[in-house]
């Protein structure tokens, strides 16, 4: 059985993560990076699924996430508001030895900043350990509300979300003996319409590869496309299984993505924009009167 000591540490990851983003075409979502890094480093499923201190986030994925942030601090990666990580001009031409040196220098800088200040902004820069960067407070509150929902209510929420996103004829079918399918519907893409099924996982623990395989089995004879929605996360093997070549594709929506979608469609989440005025007094104006 794998242990935390078997999971690659932060010093071993920067170059591997940078190479993985490059292998994905120079830009990728965070969820796509960890599986590629795991393959590059030939990590077993057991090592990839070792949990962090929170008891439900895979430690390997957590460390890959920290490394993405470090590489941004090092000027080798950048990320958009939509969560797409991309290599910078410096990142595209960096060599492994340079990345190692930059990583050491970056950590010295972060450590000195941490010692100099205990403010919230400085504490967000402390040297990565076993803890993941915290989610925004609104996401924490939203995820807590989602986990506390009854299973059937969570399924109805998924139904409404899919309708808001443009799916049609969405129907919740979840019941004992449903074979793992919680709902059915259709999606129209231009002139083509195709059936789909979805499954809801109101979990605290990560959804694993076996869950994805079971859902794909339940799809047989019902639809060629599936969506899995969870309030937690998906392990790297689960994400790899969802996109396995030759198998029916399954779209995965984890807790973070679910929060963003609920925010986007204003389902239980209200966004208030504030206008801040910057006011300056021109002393020269008064002196010239």
Q: In this predicted model, what pLDDT tens digit does every residue of 139-190 receive, in sequence order?
A: 888 988 999 999 889 999 999 998 888 888 888 886 655 557 888 988 877 6
Q: Is 38 a member of any domain? A: yes
Whether 48 and 87 share a structural domain:
yes
Lowest mean pLDDT among 26-35, 60-69, 116-125, 241-250: 116-125
**Mean model confidence pLDDT for the chain:** 83
253 strand-pairing partners? 229
Whether 162 and 198 share a structural domain:
yes
Q: Domain containing 225 — which CATH number?
A: 3.40.1350.10
Q: What is the DSSP letter of 11?
A: G
Q: Is 130 a member of any domain? A: no
252 strand-pairing partners? 228
Whether 166 and 228 share a structural domain:
yes
**Is the per-residue pLDDT at 120 higher than 60?**
no
Q: Is 93 a member of any domain? A: yes
Percent helix / strand / coil, the chain, rounded to 5: 45, 15, 40
Whether 216 and 243 share a structural domain:
yes
Helices and strands (H, E) in the chain, number of each type: 13, 8
CB proximity list for 127: less than 8 A, separation 6 or greater:
107, 110, 111, 114
Could you give the number of structural domains in the chain?
2
Whether 32 and 113 share a structural domain:
yes
Whether 93 and 200 share a structural domain:
no
Q: Helix or strand or coil: residue 262?
A: helix
CB proximity list for 139: less than 8 A, separation 6 or greater:
255, 256, 259
**In terms of C-beta density within 10 A (0-12 exposed, 13-18 middle, 19 or more buried), how is residue 10 classed?**
middle
**Contact between 20 and 33 (Cβ < 8 Å):** yes
- Grade residue 270 by pLDDT with cuts at 50, 70 and 90: confident
CA distance 49 to 211: 14
Whether 168 and 213 share a structural domain:
yes
Whether 150 and 110 share a structural domain:
no
Q: In this prediction, what percent of the chain has a pLDDT beyond 90?
A: 28
Whether 69 and 153 share a structural domain:
no
Helix (H) or strand (E) holding 212: helix 209-219
Whether 49 and 79 share a structural domain:
yes
Q: What is the pTM of this model?
A: 0.55
Residues 222-239 as b/e (b if ≥16 CB within 10 A, e otherwise) read ebeebbbbbbbbbbbbbb
Q: Is 146 a member of any domain? A: yes
Q: Is 273 a member of any domain? A: no
Rounded mean pLDDT of 106-124? 57
Whether 29 and 95 share a structural domain:
yes
CA distance 273 to 40: 43
Q: Is 269 a member of any domain? A: no
Q: Is 62 a member of any domain? A: yes
- For the chain, strand residue ranges (E) read 27-29, 77-79, 84-87, 168-172, 183-189, 192-201, 226-230, 250-253
Q: Which of 140, 163, 133, 168 is nearest to 231 (CA)?
A: 140
Q: Is 286 a member of any domain? A: no
Domain that holds residue 173: 141-264
Whether 149 and 260 share a structural domain:
yes
Q: Which carries the bigger pLDDT value, residue 80 or residue 252? A: 252
């Amino acid at each position: 059985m794998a242990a935390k000591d078997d999971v690659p540490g932060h010093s071993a990851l920067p170059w591997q993560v940078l190479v993985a983003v490059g292998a994905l075409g120079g830009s990728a979502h965070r969820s796509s990076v960890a599986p590629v890094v795991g393959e590059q480093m030939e990590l077993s499923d057991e090592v990839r699924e070792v949990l962090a201190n929170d008891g439900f986030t895979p430690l390997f994925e957590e460390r890959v996430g920290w490394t993405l942030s470090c590489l941004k601090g090092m000027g080798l990666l950048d990320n958009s508001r939509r969560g797409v990580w991309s290599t910078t001009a410096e990142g595209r031409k960096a060599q492994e030895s340079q990345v190692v040196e930059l990583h050491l220098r970056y950590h010295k800088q972060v450590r000195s900043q941490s010692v100099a200040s205990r403010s919230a902004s400085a504490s967000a820069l402390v040297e990565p350990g076993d803890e993941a960067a915290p989610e925004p407070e609104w996401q924490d509150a939203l995820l807590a509300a989602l986990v506390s929902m009854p299973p059937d209510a969570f399924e109805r929420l998924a139904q409404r979300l899919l309708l808001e996103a443009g799916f049609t004829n969405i129907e919740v079918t979840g019941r004992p003996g449903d074979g793992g399918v919680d709902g059915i519907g259709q999606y129209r893409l231009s002139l083509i319409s195709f059936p789909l099924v979805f499954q809801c996982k109101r979990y605290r623990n990560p959804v694993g590869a076996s869950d994805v395989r079971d859902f794909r089995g339940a799809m047989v004879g019902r639809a060629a496309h599936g969506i899995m929605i969870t309030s937690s996360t998906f392990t790297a093997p689960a994400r790899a299984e969802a996109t396995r070549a030759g198998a029916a594709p399954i779209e995965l929506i984890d807790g973070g993505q679910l929060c963003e979608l609920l925010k986007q469609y204003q389902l239980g989440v209200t966004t208030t924009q504030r206008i801040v005025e910057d006011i300056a007094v021109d002393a020269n104006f008064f002196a010239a009167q």
